[in-house]
């Protein structure tokens, strides 16, 4: 038989996750749309989106990049959109960490792939990841747009990114990551609509 205390814990966790996402929906939906407008504009001009993060945020960066390059929903037939997760090449990451130091590994990859007018999206549940912070600073210096998905109070990265979504939770990374991927899905959905890929039959939630 299930442990009633664990069932209560599961309910509490899911309710808390839903509560946090509802708070972000109420307070920051407009900012998500602004980000989507920027991303769609850059794509339409031939630019690209670079994404970076550590740990679970690295997985989220790869997840979102794949949904842009391959597909998000099978009902929407569209061209591939240029998104690169800077976290996927283990040779580059380990060489960068060994030769340059891990704090600069995303800067180096942004230098390789980024161009003026592109976008760098950094993900950090604390808002203080040094390598994400440095990559965003580098991108700004090179004339790239900078976006961030953050947690807690936004940390240092909030002060340097052009636009940020801050999940107001600082107890652990899990609830923040759950909200980040939901926000990322909303962003992609909006990008597809803004770029004219969705017909009326696709206008569902």
Q: Each residue's pLDDT tens digit in the chain (205 positions)?
A: 456 799 999 999 999 999 999 999 999 999 999 999 999 999 999 999 999 999 999 999 999 999 999 999 999 999 999 999 999 999 999 999 999 999 999 999 999 999 999 999 999 999 999 999 999 999 999 999 999 999 999 999 999 999 999 999 999 999 999 999 999 999 999 999 999 998 755 556 5
Query: What's the confidence (pLDDT) of residue 4?
Result: 75
CB 126 within 8 A of CB 152: yes
- Token pair for 117: 């007018």
Compute the distance between CA of residue 170 and CA of residue 148 in angstroms, rounded to an integer: 16
- Token pair for 44: 């339409």
What stretch of H or E contains 120? strand 119-124
| C-beta contacts of 191-200 below 8 A and 24+ residues apart | 191/36, 191/39, 191/40, 191/43, 191/68, 191/81, 192/72, 192/76, 192/78, 194/36, 194/37, 194/40, 195/40, 195/43, 195/44, 195/78, 197/76, 197/77, 197/78, 198/76
Helix, strand, coil percentages (3-state) for the chain, rounded to 5, are 55, 10, 30
Compute the distance between CA of residue 95 and CA of residue 36 in angstroms, rounded to an integer: 33
Compute the distance between CA of residue 2 and CA of residue 194 in angstroms, rounded to an integer: 46
Backbone phi, then psi, for 164, in 5-degree steps? -140, 150
CB atoms closer than 10 angstroms to residue 156: 18
Largest CA distance in the chain: 59
- Token pair for 66: 């794949």
pTM for this prediction: 0.93
């Amino acid at each position: 038989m299930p442990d009633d205390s664990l069932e209560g814990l599961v309910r509490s966790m899911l309710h808390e996750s839903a509560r946090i996402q509802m708070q972000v929906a109420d307070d920051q939906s407009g900012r998500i749309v602004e980000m989507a407008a920027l991303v769609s504009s850059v794509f339409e001009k031939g630019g690209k989106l670079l994404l970076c993060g550590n740990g679970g945020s690295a997985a989220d960066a790869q997840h979102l990049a794949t949904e842009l390059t391959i597909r998000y929903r099978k009902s929407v037939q569209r061209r591939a959109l240029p998104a690169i997760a800077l976290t996927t090449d283990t040779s580059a990451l380990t060489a960068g960490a060994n030769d340059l130091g891990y704090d600069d590994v995303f800067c180096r990859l942004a230098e390789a792939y980024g161009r003026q007018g592109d976008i760098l999206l950094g993900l950090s549940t604390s808002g203080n990841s040094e390598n994400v912070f440095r990559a965003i600073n580098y991108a700004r210096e090179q004339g790239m747009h900078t976006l961030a998905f953050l947690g807690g109070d936004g940390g240092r990265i909030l002060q340097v990114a052009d636009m940020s979504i801050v999940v107001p939770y600082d107890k652990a990374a899990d609830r923040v990551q759950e909200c980040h991927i939901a926000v990322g899905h909303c962003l992609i959905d909006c990008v597809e609509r803004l770029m004219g890929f969705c017909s009326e039959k696709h206008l569902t939630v």
